[in-house]
């Protein structure tokens, strides 16, 4: 333990900036966003830079997402326990734009699209306890966003906002925008839900979501994180049109998944590895690639997973041979 830093409330989400890796944003249970700077010299330490009161202190900030564009490097989207979504600039401090009641219940998650659009047309996704999946353009944010439910529109930006409550059987808790080389013609995302399913969804030019693949993981899919691929040019690999995802599945533990695109709208979801040592809800996991941990293995994916009531932190690893395997034996040995 290098340092313990008191915060203004319980911590519900935190992410380092993709543009300034030493800057950390923390979502709290008192409606505030805290911004920290990580110092590495003379020793590793966190310094709190400021506190942004985005909502009333009785409201919880449930998730946050840094804007992916360098031109908007100080902007952060947040979601709240009363169903609101806010976009704020921590250097300017006040909320820039606010979506009133984007969801009728808790807005569990918010995420930015990685689809190639102009700066002002970057899509902001949200998921809520009302089973709702929202897609908005920040410049169009208003209190009327819930008026549309997959109706037909025409142009690339006129389809927004889009709001769907029919795909998921329970609250939408995780959204991960994805991009694969041979599939770049539409907004494509992975979603996780309390209904225990992970889904691949694509948004049509008419503003309609289509389910391209889905798989039940055995527990509520609380978080999804894309992890590094162990693939190398000198190694045989089943496909280059795939990515790897770490899923935190609440009471079912963690899953390592391969998401594969074999055609324009043909997708598959494979469970490569299961970790079920937690005795409580697995709400958060992360991974890194480490060289040479296993004999005969060049690389292993080392994963840290956490659980709630038992306050447990587990470290475990998945050898690259499992990540790259495409045989039924490898899947049946480590996952069902």
Lowest mean pLDDT among 176-185, 223-232, 303-312: 176-185
262: pLDDT confidence band, cut at 50, 70 and 90?
confident
Give pLDDT, residue 139: 73
Q: Is it the case that residue 301 has pLDDT exceeding 90? A: no
150: pLDDT confidence band, cut at 50, 70 and 90?
very low
Give pLDDT, residue 289: 84
Helix or strand holding residue 46 (H, E): strand 45-53
- Tokens (6 digits) for 313: 């932190």
Q: Calculate the CA dihedral of residues 87, 82, 24, 10 and round it to 10 degrees.
A: 160
Q: How much is the pTM?
A: 0.88
Give pLDDT, residue 206: 85
In whole angstroms, give the CA distance from residue 218 to residue 196.
6
Compute the average pLDDT of residues 19-48.
95
The residues, ordered by sequence, that sit 6+ positions from 68 with a Cβ below 8 Å of its Cβ are 18, 112, 114, 122
Q: Is it the case that residue 331 has pLDDT exceeding 70? A: no
* Top-confidence range, 93-97, 129-133, 273-277: 129-133
Compute the average pLDDT of residues 266-283.
93
What percent of the chain has a predicted confidence (pLDDT) above 90?
62
- 3-state SS class at 155: coil
Lowest mean pLDDT among 112-121, 175-184, 236-245: 236-245
Compute the average pLDDT of residues 97-120.
85
Burial (CB count <10 Å: 0-12, 13-18, 19+), residue 292: exposed
Compute the average pLDDT of residues 326-332.
43
Give pLDDT, residue 183: 58
In whole angstroms, give the CA distance from residue 143 to residue 120.
19
In whole angstroms, give the CA distance from residue 243 to residue 70.
24
Give pLDDT, residue 2: 87
Degrees to nearest 5, angle at CA 89 with 47 and 57: 75
State pLDDT tens for residues 162-187.
Answer: 999 999 999 999 999 998 765 556 78
């Amino acid at each position: 333990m290098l340092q313990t830093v008191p915060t203004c409330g319980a911590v519900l989400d935190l992410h380092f900036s993709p543009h300034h890796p030493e800057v950390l944003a923390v979502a709290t249970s008192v409606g505030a966003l805290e911004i920290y700077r990580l110092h590495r010299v003379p020793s590793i330490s966190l310094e709190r830079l400021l506190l942004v009161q985005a909502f009333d202190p009785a409201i919880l900030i449930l998730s946050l997402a840094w804007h992916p564009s360098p031109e908007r490097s100080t902007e952060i989207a947040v979601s709240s326990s009363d169903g609101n979504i806010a976009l704020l600039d921590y250097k300017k401090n006040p909320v820039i734009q606010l979506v009133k009641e984007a969801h009728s219940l808790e807005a569990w998650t918010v995420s930015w699209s990685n689809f190639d659009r102009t700066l002002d047309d970057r899509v902001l996704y949200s998921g809520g306890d009302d089973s709702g999946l929202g897609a908005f353009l920040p410049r169009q944010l208003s209190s009327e966003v819930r008026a549309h439910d997959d109706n037909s529109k025409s142009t690339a930006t006129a389809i927004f906002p889009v709001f769907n409550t029919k795909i998921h059987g329970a609250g939408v808790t995780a959204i991960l925008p994805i991009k694969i080389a041979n599939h770049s013609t539409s907004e494509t995302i992975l979603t996780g839900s309390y209904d225990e399913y992970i889904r691949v969804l694509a948004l049509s030019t008419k503003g309609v979501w289509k389910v391209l693949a889905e798989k039940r993981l055995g527990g509520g899919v609380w978080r999804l994180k894309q992890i590094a691929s162990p693939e190398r040019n000198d190694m045989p690999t089943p496909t280059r049109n795939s990515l790897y995802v770490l899923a935190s599945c609440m009471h079912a533990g963690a899953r390592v998944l391969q998401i594969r695109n074999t055609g324009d709208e043909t997708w598959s979801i494979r469970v490569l590895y299961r970790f079920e040592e937690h005795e409580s809800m697995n709400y958060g996991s992360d991974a890194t690639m480490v060289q040479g941990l296993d004999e005969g293995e060049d690389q292993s994916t080392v994963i840290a997973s956490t659980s709630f009531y038992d306050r447990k932190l587990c470290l475990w690893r998945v050898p690259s041979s499992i990540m790259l395997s495409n045989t039924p034996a490898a899947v049946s040995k480590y996952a069902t």
